Amino acid sequence: MADLSDLLLLAIERANGTPLLRQVYLELRRAILGGTLPPGARLPATRALAQRLGIARNTVVAAYEQLLAEGFIEGRVGAGSYVSRDLPQGLERPAAARARPATPEPVPFNLPNMVQPGAQPFNTGRVAWDEATARIWRQLTLRRLQSPDPDMLGYGDPRGSLALREAIANYLGAARAVRCTPDQVIVTSGAQQAIDLVRKVVVAPGDPVWIEDPCYPALRAAMAAAGARIVPVPVDAQGLIVGEGIAASPNARLAYVTPSSQYPMGVVLSMARRMELLAWARRAGAWIVEDDYDSEFRYAGRPLAALQGVDDGGRVIYIGTFSKVLFPGLRLGYAVLPPELLGPVQSARLLSDWHPPVFQEGVVTDFLAEGHFGQHLRRMRQRYRLARDALVEALRDSCGRFLEVEAPDQGLKLLARLKPGWLDTEVSAAAERAGVIARPVSPMFLAERPIQALMLGFSGHEPGALRWASTVLSNAMQQTPEFF
């Protein structure tokens, strides 16, 4: 392998506030992952690189030691330091195509408006099971334990088992009109990991990223942690206003959308907007992340086909999860990737989590392949519809003078818009003190003028509990002063 030391250019800035050690480490890692320093390439001697950069040699030595500890480089006695030959390639775009690194925003552990643990009424992220599903799950689990697959006792495929990927591809093709082969599917530890893997591969620090305004808080936090330049794009009754995104950042690297049920507003992205979004992505060479988090639950009419299913340019990354349709404790989600991204995302998956849980994969595979999944969804749709209707009726009876509510056609939550004079953050705090979770919507806005509303979950809650909680919310609001 040729010595590329003299060709290596590192962007080090003393005035940007980032420690020099961190800058040297990040620049070297970027050169390795971007291909400027391919596997086997020799790194500059620490003394020579320190002199070239005009910094202390100890700073360069410490950066090399960090890269060595993480497996990016390897030392050869008497011969210097080299890029590890075992390192997967293709995790990032070439360094020359990157913007200069930005210092990522720190991410607090307790992010506001995230899903909270607990079964309090109105809490989102809750699911229900009936006895039929519980019985079948027990049977499938026992069958897997009685006749264990030898693969269950070892390490699994980082992509997920072939059988599960086949079952997912078949389901998505039939239910969501997603066009894919099992080789395009990668199984993840929930949708959040799928989003994280995609942003690691696709988004570089400083890259502009379209985000719906208002938006899913965990997505905003993930992109901020990546150092992305967040571009808020407003939402109206037809979903993301694509023209606003183009005007704000025509060359954005990625757009994140929830087209089946916009989070948190619940609107559906119109077909005209879908075509406009796809046309922009093809022109700009941008990627679209389609988060299809709860499309299985529609209560009136048929949902539009997945955005991925009408994408002829291979620009859509489709993400789904079993957390909403089975239960979050499974920690199983999936991404359907364009061929160009398969290798890099698989490598990132291998580096971050090795492989999905093999035993749970087997049970879920049987649940899908044997037809139990479709039956479970039909029963849960009916159950959640009854819960939705009970909540809407109870809110109108108990809280009608404080808020306005309509029954959503899809999803597992509803928006209750507060009447003038109320702040959703104050009402939310009062409700939590009373024992119910009413998540405020205004903090989910970025640049647009926020609305004052509460996000109330109805899935996984019995109608009686929702009626009781509506009365509790009403009492809490009566004890909360109005704000004008």
Task: For 158-172, write each residue's pLDDT tens digit.
Answer: 899 999 999 999 999
Q: In this structure, how many other beta carbons lie within 10 angstroms of the beta carbon of residue 396?
A: 14
Q: Tell me what pLDDT residue 150 has.
A: 75
Side-chain half-sphere exposure of 176, counting CA atoms within 13 A = 27
Using only the alpha carbons of the chain, give its radius of gyration: 25
Per-residue pLDDT of the chain (484 residues; tens, 9 = 90+): 444 445 567 777 776 667 788 788 778 877 877 777 888 888 888 888 888 888 889 888 888 887 887 667 888 767 788 888 765 444 343 333 333 344 445 544 445 455 566 778 889 888 888 899 999 999 999 998 888 777 777 777 889 999 999 999 999 998 888 999 999 999 998 888 999 999 999 999 999 999 999 998 888 888 888 889 999 999 999 999 999 999 999 999 999 999 999 999 999 999 899 999 999 999 999 999 999 988 888 888 766 679 999 898 999 999 999 988 888 888 899 999 999 999 999 888 888 787 788 888 999 999 999 999 999 999 999 999 999 999 999 999 999 999 999 999 988 999 999 999 899 999 999 999 999 999 999 999 999 999 999 999 999 899 999 999 999 999 999 877 665 3
Ramachandran category for residue 390: left, alpha or beta (phi over 0 → left; psi -120 to 50 → alpha): alpha
∠ CA 374-375-381 to the nearest 5 degrees?
A: 90
Q: Which residues, 6 or more positions from 166, have their beta carbon under 8 angstroms from its beta carbon?
A: 182
* Average pLDDT for the chain: 86
Q: What beta strand segments (E) does 189-228 contain? A: 208-213
Task: Count, in order, helices (H) and strands (E) of the chain.
Answer: 14, 14
Q: In this structure, how many other beta carbons lie within 10 angstroms of the beta carbon of residue 451?
A: 16
Q: Tell me what pLDDT residue 113 has.
A: 53
Domains annotated on the chain, with CATH:
5-97 (1.10.10.10), 131-371 (3.40.640.10), 375-478 (3.90.1150.10)
Tell me if 223 sits within 8 A of 203, measured CB to CB.
yes
Burial of 299 per CB tally in 10 Å (0-12, 13-18, 19+): middle
Q: Could you tell me the pTM of the whole model?
A: 0.75
Omega within 30 of 0 (cis) for the link into 214: yes
Cα–Cα distance for residue pair 393/99, rounded to 1 Å: 52
Cα–Cα distance for residue pair 438/473, rounded to 1 Å: 8
Q: Which residues, 6 or more positions from 371, have their beta carbon under 8 angstroms from its beta carbon?
A: none
Q: Tell me what pLDDT residue 92 has.
A: 40
